[in-house]
Amino acid sequence: MNRYAPFNFDLGELPHDPEEAFMEFDARLFEYVEANKDQQSWSVERRYISRLKAFADEHEINLPFSLKIPIEDDAFGEWYRWALDQIDYYKTRLTIRTHRGKTSGTVTILTLNDGFRVEIHNRLNQIRSYIESSPLDEKKKDAIYSKIAALQAEVDKSKTRLDAFLSVQLDITAAIGKGAESLEPVVKLLDSVKKIFSRAKDENEQAALEKPQERRLIEGPKRDQEVDDEIPF
């Protein structure tokens, strides 16, 4: 894998969905790595990780682990084995998520229009304002701010994962904790955001149902084929 060499496959062949494309991209890169290992250095493996990270960054895929490559080769080997485990774990979750969505017939990746985005951002900004004036300690506040920012970034993507909101909802609710009566409006705002996602989900599923299906054409008899109009006995 030459440092500036083009990919050994056509990127246009990858699936349209970013997460499915990530899995396919990784599989093709890793196949090349396994066939072209250099016993004297980690150069091929380093290039593999670098390109995988570039793909994730370009498609705004928030990997749940860091792919910051160690500079020293002495530390790279152990780190690389750890990174492969993390990548395998992440791809397994994506596979399960994709299969679950397809078998259930429900939409798990949403396309949000500008109206939905504005509504969600307005609610999230209101939540942030309530948190700022709340009696929560700074550590909890910072944790919630981080979750809000992550969801805002997800909402601004061309494709938004439905479970991104569910994850943030659980995290913020847990961070607030029990007995925080002054933050009851935050809980209501989260429920409001949930309803917006639900409306967007319904709209996406309806659009998927209305999408025209490709029709197969029935071939008629070929020109040189003799057709007997008489009824045989």
State whether 76 and 115 are in the same domain.
no
Helical packing angle, 138-155 and 162-176, nearest 10°? 170
State whether 150 and 70 are in the same domain.
no
Per-residue model confidence (pLDDT) at position 17? 76
Which residue range is the domain that position 22 belongs to?
Answer: 11-104
Per-residue model confidence (pLDDT) at position 201? 85
State whether 84 and 113 are in the same domain.
no
Domain count, the chain: 2
- Residue 214 inside a domain? The answer is no
Phi, psi of 145 (to 5 degrees): -55, -40
State whether 45 and 70 are in the same domain.
yes
- Residue 148 inside a domain? The answer is yes
State whether 87 and 113 are in the same domain.
no
State whether 193 and 132 are in the same domain.
yes
- Mean pLDDT, consecutive 10-residue segments, the chain of 233 residues? 56 80 90 85 92 89 86 90 91 76 60 92 94 87 87 87 78 68 82 90 81 50 45 37
Per-residue model confidence (pLDDT) at position 166? 78
State whether 99 and 123 are in the same domain.
no
State whether 29 and 116 are in the same domain.
no
Q: What is the pTM of this model?
A: 0.49
- Residue 20 inside a domain? The answer is yes
Following CA atoms 176, 180, 182, 184 in sequence, which dihedral angle do they give, to the nearest 10 degrees?
70
State whether 131 and 62 are in the same domain.
no
